[in-house]
Amino acid sequence: MELPFVFDWQPPRITKWDLLRTRWLWLVFITASATFALLFWLHPWVRSVDVPGALVLISSTPSDATISVDGHERGQTPVRLELAPGDHQVTVHRAGFVDMTYRLQLASGARASLPAVLWRQQPTVEPLRIPLPGAQVVDAGFLANGRLTLTLSLPPANERQFWLLGPDNVPRSIGPPYAEGAIASTLDGSQLAYLARGQVSLGLSDRLDQLWTTTQHGNPGQLRYVLPVSDERLVDLSWAPDGQHLLVVDEQSAVAGGSRDRLLWLPARDGDPRVLIDLPSKVVAGSYVWSPDGQQVAFLAQSSDHVTLCLLDTRDGSLRDLADLTSSSPPPFAPFTWSADGTRLLYSAAVPASPSLGGWLFGGSAQLALFAVDAAHPLGNQLGLTDAAFATWRDDGSVLGLTRRGSDGRLTLRLFDPDGQSHDLATLPLQSTANFGVRWDVAHGQAIVAIPNTASLGQSHFSYWLVRFQGEAAQ
């Protein structure tokens, strides 16, 4: 039987290139499978070979504080921890003290130390006693080692004395036997500078034309500078942090009446002063807040109707007008503080109330805001609204400030952490009107609070209080 169709079949032709490609595909498949199997078999060993960690020694004052790293408890201080490279959040906690939270950026194999200084939740508050009955405290501050200084004004003339509170808390007078004007100390307390009048100025009751420096108590020291013209007078001075230069304020009589202040940069040992800037306003005495390197100084300038926050560069005399205060009367201390590395200046100033304003710190419809000056924001970057004045940075990046609470004006210490949360730490046994002031010594956990004296009948008199945050908490 003849079939109706014919099969014509031929086997597929396989070239040598087809064979080569097939072999390569199989080779890739087999190699990948073997690699995967090998890694699976070596998995526990691979995990055990970690990148070298960073070693961090964490201590605290006081000791025996609990350490938490990224939310996990890791022992008590002092403790040495090995942490993985990268970012970590370290919290130091001890009962009766304010928690300190640090953010660490650690490189592989790094060695670092973290000394935490804890602040008590309930600080001690004590009045600064005037060592001489009848004298008046016109300024108070801290040396670099944390010791307290007082500047006294003695009646009936404007005689000034400089006092130092010793380690035993007993005050003693240091410096020249008689200073007729402003007097200031270097940060280490080794040198004093003061203003006086020369023989040619004896008939002019308020004209100071000489600047003296001394290193010994009771010794008038050396005459460093004399004004060359008679229509000017020296009104104030301040030591730069290096102890090698002085900022001197020279008041000049204006042609059309009134006066203006000139700021001079004077080497402490040799050389003539250099004019930094002429101001059509008056520098508020004692309002200087220096950057750690001495290249910039913040101060207050007062005209007839307002007080201005200024920032002066001592290298070229350039001036930045940062903001105006809400009050036409200057506070006892300038509302500035520098960060420990000197890269940022923190200050508080008035802003128009607006519910749309937000930021890092939250204060509702408060009229005050915190600003930071740095290289990226030379005229100030608003951090947010707040009702806490005289803020300062702590070394963990948080911000402290004092605010008036309640109808009686009680002063409350408020903490703002780097995440923007705020809470009250303690209510101080102090009451004040709005024009109070704070001078911080964060490195030693203390502050001076100046409160207007209501019995001064409109005069700029203040009572001064020492607030200490460090030390053992009350049990």
pLDDT of residue 406: 73
**Cα-based distances in Å from 257 to 31, 203, 304:** 95, 21, 14
CATH code for the domain of 385: 2.130.10.10
Average pLDDT over residues 290-313: 92
Instruction: Indicate whether 448 belongs to any domain.
Output: yes
- Give yes or no for residue 276 having a pLDDT over 80: yes
347: tokens are 């200050």
Residues 298, 237: one domain?
yes
pLDDT of residue 456: 46
Taking alpha carbons only, the member of 102, 127, 97, 121 closest to residue 113 is: 102
Residues 248, 136: one domain?
yes
Handedness of CA 232, 235, 238, 239 (dihedral sign): positive
Residues 66, 168: one domain?
no
CATH code for the domain of 107: 2.60.40.1120
d(CA 317, CA 441): 28
Instruction: Indicate whether 15 belongs to any domain.
Output: no
Instruction: Indicate whether 435 belongs to any domain.
Output: yes
Instruction: Indicate whether 151 belongs to any domain.
Output: yes
Q: What percent of the chain has pLDDT over 90?
A: 40
Q: What is the DSSP letter of 120?
A: B
Q: Name residue 267's beta-bridge partners.
A: 245
The domain boundary, picked from 67, 97, 117, lies at 117
Residues 279, 357: one domain?
yes
- Window from 10-14, 158-162, 170-174, 452-456 with minimum mean pLDDT: 10-14
Q: What percent of the chain has pLDDT over 70?
A: 81
- Window from 39-53, 85-99, 220-234, 431-445 with minimum mean pLDDT: 39-53
Residues 77, 221: one domain?
no
- Give yes or no for residue 35 having a pLDDT over 80: no
Q: What radius of gyration, in Å, describes the C-alpha atoms of the chain?
A: 33
Residue 244 binned pLDDT confidence (cut-offs 50, 70, 90): very high
Residues 93, 220: one domain?
no
Residue 41 binned pLDDT confidence (cut-offs 50, 70, 90): low
15: tokens are 């070239």
Instruction: Indicate whether 33 belongs to any domain.
Output: no
d(CA 334, CA 141): 12
Instruction: Indicate whether 411 belongs to any domain.
Output: yes
The domain boundary, picked from 117, 139, 161, lies at 117
Residue 285 binned pLDDT confidence (cut-offs 50, 70, 90): very high
pLDDT of residue 306: 86
pLDDT tens across 112-121, in order?
899 888 888 8
pLDDT tens across 356-415, in order?
444 444 444 446 788 889 888 888 888 877 777 788 988 777 888 888 887 788 898 888
More confident residue, 424 or 221: 221
Handedness of CA 430, 434, 439, 441 (dihedral sign): positive
Residues 113, 128: one domain?
no
Predicted TM-score (pTM) of this structure: 0.80
Residues 202, 61: one domain?
no
423: tokens are 């809470």
- Give yes or no for residue 191 having a pLDDT over 90: yes
pLDDT of residue 247: 98
The domain boundary, picked from 117, 150, 172, lies at 117
Handedness of CA 302, 308, 309, 311 (dihedral sign): negative
- Window from 23-27, 247-251, 403-407 with minimum mean pLDDT: 23-27
More confident residue, 350 or 301: 301
Residue 183 binned pLDDT confidence (cut-offs 50, 70, 90): very high
Average pLDDT over residues 131-137: 89
Give me the domain span that covers residue 373.
Answer: 124-468
Residues 229, 376: one domain?
yes
Return the H-helix or E-strand segment holding 233: strand 232-239
Residues 401, 333: one domain?
yes
CB of 386 closer than 8 Å to CB of 369? yes
Residues 419, 303: one domain?
yes
Residues 98, 156: one domain?
no
pLDDT of residue 460: 56
Number of domains in the chain: 2
pLDDT of residue 291: 95
